[in-house]
Amino acid sequence: MRFGRAAGPKRSIGRSRAPRGWRNRILAIGAAAFALPVAAGIAAPTTALASPATPVHRAGLEELMVPSSMGPIKVQVQWAARGGNAGLYLLDGLRAREDRNAWSFETNATEQFANDNISLIMPVGGQSSFYADWYAPSNTNGQKFTYKWETFLTQELPAFLEGHGVSRTNNAVAGLSMGGSAALSLAAYHRDQFKSAAAYSGYLNISAPGMREAMRIAMLDAGRFNADSMAAPWSPQWLRMDPFVFAPQLRGLPMYISAASGLPGPHDHPNSAIGAFNTSTAMGLEALSLVNTRAFQARLRSLGVDAYFDFPSVGTHSWKYWEGQLFASRKMFLDSTNGW
């Protein structure tokens, strides 16, 4: 969520859990601040494009304005190095910004895939959306349109990108925090589009006691969004969004799933009171993600569904750790899409 900081950091793999006595404290921290702010940056020039009838081989990093039912949506694209048709969708966290997708400036994602034959697809915006199709505009912040992110990512955007040589059916998807559960959801319900998926520090058991309440508070904190506009209380939409519930639909899908212990690691160096507060918040958020991810692991095991899990012994809910997890899952994306 941000549930959302990350050049391949050294990782220590372990099976660490959050101590039982922390669970209530973790939930309180998660409800108070589900996401960390991201560093400010300068937006790159934006190119408005109409999808051409004949695919063209583009190069480098571009910012496109893509038509949608929500209005024009900015999408940052780093085109495949040799004109390949594979795409890797990178989803942001709860505090997704309106100028850039944080994968493009908080991590070295563009460098990691610069020589690979796969396009990075980085949609911009969607704060607190969970990349879902909402029922109505949020009525607590004056939102003027209804979020329809699932429709955009699985219909409108693929149709647009197809005109630029990116296949509708040869894609992978990855996300952190809020984007982690969304990545698994998109892959589960659109298996024809996505050939692999990764969730880093995701919240993968949102029907667990207290999780919906924590999400509600977090969404109010991140943009004053009303969770009832996303899914009415007791609506089946809550179950449809929950990886723990739709887990059977992930059978046969290559998956990389990770969550760290929440203990500070090599990328945590607070040097002020605010820094110390942010680090402690990131510790709690990551520990909450770990509890969710361990439960999801047990759920997949009970179903006989295979997935690769990584539980680093140190690491907080921040971008530099997710950068390392992206690098660790890079081979899976390239293998599943033939994007080498």
Please name each of the domains of the chain with its CATH number.
Answer: 20-337 (3.40.50.1820)
Specify burial of residue 47 (Cβ count, 10 A radius: 0-12, 13-18, 19+). Answer: exposed
The yes-or-no answer on residue 57 being catalytic is no
Specify burial of residue 266 (Cβ count, 10 A radius: 0-12, 13-18, 19+). Answer: middle
The yes-or-no answer on residue 164 being catalytic is no
Range of lowest pLDDT (6-10, 59-63, 113-117, 213-217): 6-10
The single residue of 63, 317, 318, 336 carrying the catalytic annotation is 317
The single residue of 63, 106, 286, 323 carrying the catalytic annotation is 286
Neighbours of 234 (CB within 10 A): 8
- In this prediction, residues 305-321 reach a mean pLDDT of 97
The single residue of 68, 119, 177, 261 carrying the catalytic annotation is 177
pLDDT of 35 higher than 60:
no
pLDDT of 39 higher than 60:
no
> What band does 332 get if pLDDT is binned at 50, 70 and 90?
very high
Instruction: Extract the tokens encoding 141.
Output: 């912040």
The yes-or-no answer on residue 177 being catalytic is yes
Which DSSP state fits 231? S
Q: What are phi and psi of 91, to 5 degrees?
A: -95, 145
CA dist., res. 327 & res. 61, Å (int): 19
pLDDT digits (tens, 9 = 90+) for 172-210: 999 999 999 999 999 999 999 999 999 999 999 999 999
Q: What are phi and psi of 75, to 5 degrees?
A: -135, 125
